[in-house]
């Protein structure tokens, strides 16, 4: 299996962007944003930051268990134009959004108390500026906490083409773009590398109230055109480009795929004809007949701020508790040194294999060992069912009391470790440790299999065979998300079924679920027919035409990660 080299995440952002020079393609959206900024704020923007949304090809709800995932950035993105403002109010922000009527203009200023910066974020409502504030938080507390230096006042204008609540991670794109904006405008880009930007954006996104893993932020920051990323989080953050078995499709023109390579762009510079394109394109083998990933939005909004948020956080708790209980059931090391450990399912793997792994250390578990451990641990998950469980019993859940007992912790310690940081409510009072762990181990295994099939695609004589393998893994993933992780919904189940009936090799939900988008693998020669069939079959699409239809169902073209540019 020919693994590609990891993408370096260690050079500073300033160096990373400078090395790409003017390899940029200014779209009219950029110009429009810059002009509009000038009209509204009376001067040109100093920077425009860009961060893309992403589609997750496989590996759902396993990033916070610290297993590897396989997303690709999409072309749809958030653009944030900004400039420092002369006013004496330190760090004050005026933020406006081009989609005016939906997102009204906001003004806010952070306050410093006891070396901690504070910004009011209302976690009970979905406010667009919350994501701008979230990005600001980490920058303030990383660089300005001592009070010796002051953040500059800023004007910001935002525009976005990632639909909100669609599972394409508009939220992470907003937070990454905002983090980049505040770094740039305060001249801090030279002090941060891509890995640190991912960490900052992850911490920042938690401010909005979702205890998410790092997939979206990593995909938004690190992605390269034309490939997916195999992102691993443990023992250290790392990203490996995975070539996709896609051919040259009329729907997915290869030569435009360098748009928005990571670079800092002056919004006031003339449009370069992109002479450096080749230098930023990742060389990807392109077999003649490949597959294309098509996103289709179920049009059910996945509301992570109110409804789905509690479900999401509950899953985080269930998977963490399952990891602790498994350690105990399998007599693996736990709580050594007397601390109450919030161990993750990925860490259980190392302990199961008897390998010493430390956070941030070198990877010491090989892919082969991972395969073996995931298979064996998957078989052990049955032990997480309640003691009274019998074959055919659908009531696999455990009560709070049972769960506390299984954890080996006192009630107080359990609450402190697993519940004090989050509001969760289990349906019928039952927590699903077995189902969640069974999903996570099997999904982590599917990610490895998917990666392997992609890496073998270019030397395989029959690309359709590879596409069948990938499709089957996607279908299994959907089944597992729906039945074990319970993060699908009737519309997503229906839409993925329709996509398979319309000829997709495989189809699954992408992102958190409970609504939002599906992703389907479709033969590239059949994309147009496929879209026509789904339009006819999925009731919410029936009256949509042209742009409106393209908004909800479209072939994706893996895009590159976040960037912005300082003007001269």
Residues carrying an active site annotation: 216
Stretch that binds ligand NG1, among 141-149, 164-172, 244-252, 522-530 (CB under 6 A): 164-172
Among Mg ion, ligand NG1, none, what binds residue 213 when CB lies within 5 to 8 Å by partner kind?
ligand NG1
The DSSP output letter for 82 is E
CB of 220 to Mg ion, least distance (A): 10
Q: Which residues pair with 121 in a beta bridge?
A: none
The answer to the question of residue 205 lying near ligand NG1 (CB under 6 A) is: yes
Among Mg ion, ligand NG1, none, what binds residue 63 when CB lies within 5 to 8 Å by partner kind?
ligand NG1
Stretch that binds ligand NG1, among 101-109, 166-174, 383-391, 499-507 (CB under 6 A): 166-174
Stretch that binds ligand NG1, among 53-61, 117-125, 131-139, 252-260 (CB under 6 A): 53-61
Neighbours of 542 (CB within 10 A): 9
Binding-site member from 56, 141, 166, 169 for Mg ion (CB under 5 A): 169
Which CB, 171 or 181, lies closer to Mg ion?
171
CA separation for the pair 213, 210 (Å, rounded): 9
CB of 172 to Mg ion, least distance (A): 6
Q: Give the N- to C-terminal CA distance of the chain in Å, as an integer.
A: 46
Alpha-carbon distances, residue 178 vs 65, 93, 313, 330 (angstroms)? 26, 12, 24, 44
Stretch that binds ligand NG1, among 210-218, 325-333, 383-391, 431-439 (CB under 6 A): 210-218
The answer to the question of residue 313 lying near Mg ion (CB under 5 A) is: no
Among Mg ion, ligand NG1, none, what binds residue 176 when CB lies within 5 to 8 Å by partner kind?
none
Binding-site member from 154, 210, 305, 334 for ligand NG1 (CB under 6 A): 210
Which CB, 81 or 215, lies closer to ligand NG1?
215
User: Which one, of 308, 227, 253, 305, lies nearest residue 514 by Cα?
Assistant: 308
CB of 473 to ligand NG1, least distance (A): 15
Which CB, 171 or 267, lies closer to Mg ion?
171
Contact (Cβ atoms closer than 8 angstroms) between residue 181 and residue 564: yes
551 sits in which H/E element:
helix 546-552
CB of 210 to Mg ion, least distance (A): 7
Which CB, 471 or 511, lies closer to ligand NG1?
511
Tokens of 374: 């995931």
The answer to the question of residue 52 lying near ligand NG1 (CB under 6 A) is: no
Q: Which residue has the tokens 């003339």?
A: 270
DSSP 410-458: -HHHHIIIIITT-----GGG-B-HHHHHHHHHHHHHHHHHHHHHHHHGG
The answer to the question of residue 230 lying near ligand NG1 (CB under 6 A) is: no
The answer to the question of residue 171 lying near Mg ion (CB under 5 A) is: yes
CB of 121 to ligand NG1, least distance (A): 15
CB of 164 to Mg ion, least distance (A): 9
Which CB, 81 or 374, lies closer to ligand NG1?
374
Burial class (CB in 10 A: 0-12, 13-18, 19+), 30: buried
Which CB, 172 or 470, lies closer to ligand NG1?
172
The number of residues that bind ligand NG1 (CB under 6 A) is 18
The answer to the question of residue 96 lying near ligand NG1 (CB under 6 A) is: no
Binding-site member from 215, 260, 332, 509 for ligand NG1 (CB under 6 A): 215
Site string for ligand NG1, 170-199 (x = CB under 6 A): -xx---------------------------
CB of 481 to Mg ion, least distance (A): 16
Contact (Cβ atoms closer than 8 angstroms) between residue 69 and residue 57: no
CA separation for the pair 98, 158 (Å, rounded): 6
The answer to the question of residue 216 lying near ligand NG1 (CB under 6 A) is: yes
Where on the phi/psi map is residue 222: left (φ > 0), alpha (ψ -120 to 50), or beta?
alpha
Which CB, 34 or 201, lies closer to Mg ion?
201
CA separation for the pair 120, 133 (Å, rounded): 8
The answer to the question of residue 357 lying near ligand NG1 (CB under 6 A) is: no
Stretch that binds ligand NG1, among 37-45, 212-220, 371-379, 410-418 (CB under 6 A): 212-220
Burial class (CB in 10 A: 0-12, 13-18, 19+), 359: exposed
Q: Which residues pair with 242 in a beta bridge?
A: 228
SS (H, E, C) 88-109: CCCCCEEEEECCCCCCCCEEEC
Neighbours of 255 (CB within 10 A): 9
Stretch that binds ligand NG1, among 209-217, 263-271, 289-297, 375-383 (CB under 6 A): 209-217
The answer to the question of residue 511 lying near ligand NG1 (CB under 6 A) is: yes
226 sits in which H/E element:
none
> What b/e sequence results for 162-199 when a residue is b if at least 16 CB atoms lie within 10 Å of its CB, and e otherwise?
bbbbbbbbbbbbbbbbbbbbbbbbbebbeebbbbbbbb
Among ligand NG1, Mg ion, none, what binds residue 24 when CB lies within 5 to 8 Å by partner kind?
none
CA separation for the pair 82, 45 (Å, rounded): 5
Report the interface residues with Mg ion, using CB under 5 A. Answer: 169, 171
Report the interface residues with ligand NG1, using CB under 6 A. Answer: 56, 60-61, 63-64, 167, 169, 171-172, 205, 210, 212-213, 215-216, 304, 511-512
């Amino acid at each position: 299996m020919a693994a590609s080299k990891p993408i370096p995440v260690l050079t500073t952002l300033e160096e990373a962007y400078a090395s790409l020079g003017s390899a940029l393609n200014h779209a009219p959206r950029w110009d429009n944003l810059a002009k509009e900024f000038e009209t509204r704020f009376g001067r040109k923007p100093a920077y425009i930051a860009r961060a893309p949304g992403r589609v997750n090809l496989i590996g759902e709800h396993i990033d916070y268990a610290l297993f590897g995932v396989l997303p690709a950035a999409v072309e749809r993105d958030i653009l944030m134009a900004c400039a420092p403002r002369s006013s004496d109010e330190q760090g004050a922000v005026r933020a406006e959004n081009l989609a005016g009527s939906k997102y009204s203009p906001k003004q806010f200023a952070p306050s410093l108390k006891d070396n901690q910066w504070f910004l009011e974020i209302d976690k009970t409502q979905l406010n667009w500026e919350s994501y701008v504030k979230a990005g600001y938080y980490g920058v303030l507390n990383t660089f300005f906490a001592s009070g010796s230096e002051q953040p500059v006042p800023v004007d910001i204008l935002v525009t976005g083409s990632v639909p909100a609540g669609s599972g394409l991670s508009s939220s992470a794109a907003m937070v990454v773009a905002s983090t980049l904006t505040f770094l740039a405008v305060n001249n801090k880009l030279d002090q941060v590398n891509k890995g640190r930007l991912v960490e900052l954006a992850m911490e920042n996104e938690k401010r909005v109230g979702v205890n998410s893993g790092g997939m979206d932020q990593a995909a938004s920051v690190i992605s390269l055109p034309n490939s997916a990323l195999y992102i691993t989080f443990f023992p250290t953050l790392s990203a490996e480009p995975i070539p996709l078995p896609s051919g040259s499709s009329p729907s997915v023109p290869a030569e435009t795929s360098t748009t928005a390579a990571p670079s800092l762009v002056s919004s006031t510079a003339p449009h370069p004809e992109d002479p450096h394109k080749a230098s930023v394109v990742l060389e990807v083998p392109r077999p003649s007949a490949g597959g294309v990933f098509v996103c289709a939005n179920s049009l059910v909004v996945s509301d992570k701020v109110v409804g789905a948020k509690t479900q999401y956080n509950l899953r985080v708790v269930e998977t963490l508790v399952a990891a602790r209980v498994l350690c105990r059931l399998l007599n693996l090391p736990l709580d050594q040194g007397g601390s109450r450990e919030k161990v993750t399912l990925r860490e259980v793997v190392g302990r199961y294999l008897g390998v010493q792994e430390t956070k941030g250390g070198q990877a010491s578990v090989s892919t082969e060992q991972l395969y073996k451990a995931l298979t064996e641990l998957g078989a052990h998950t049955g032990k997480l069912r309640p003691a009274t469980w019998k074959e055919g019993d659908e009531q696999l859940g455990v009560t709070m009391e049972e769960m506390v007992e299984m954890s080996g912790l006192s009630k107080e310690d359990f609450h402190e470790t697993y519940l004090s940081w989050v509001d969760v409510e289990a349906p019928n009072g039952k927590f699903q440790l077995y189902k969640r762990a069974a999903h996570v181990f099997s999904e982590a295994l599917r990610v490895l299999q998917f990666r392997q099939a992609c890496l073998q695609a270019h030397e395989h004589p029959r690309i359709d065979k590879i596409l069948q393998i990938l499709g089957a893994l996607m279908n299994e993933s959907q089944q597992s998300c729906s039945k074990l992780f319970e993060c699908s919904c009737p519309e997503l189940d229906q839409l993925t079924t329709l996509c398979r009936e319309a000829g997709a090799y495989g189809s699954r939900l992408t992102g958190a679920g409970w609504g939002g988008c599906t992703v389907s693998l479709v033969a590239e020669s059949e994309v147009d027919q496929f879209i026509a069939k789904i339009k006819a079959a999925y009731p919410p699409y029936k009256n949509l035409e042209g742009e409106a239809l393209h908004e909800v169902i479209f072939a994706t073209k893996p895009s590159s990660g976040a960037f912005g540019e300082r003007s001269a």
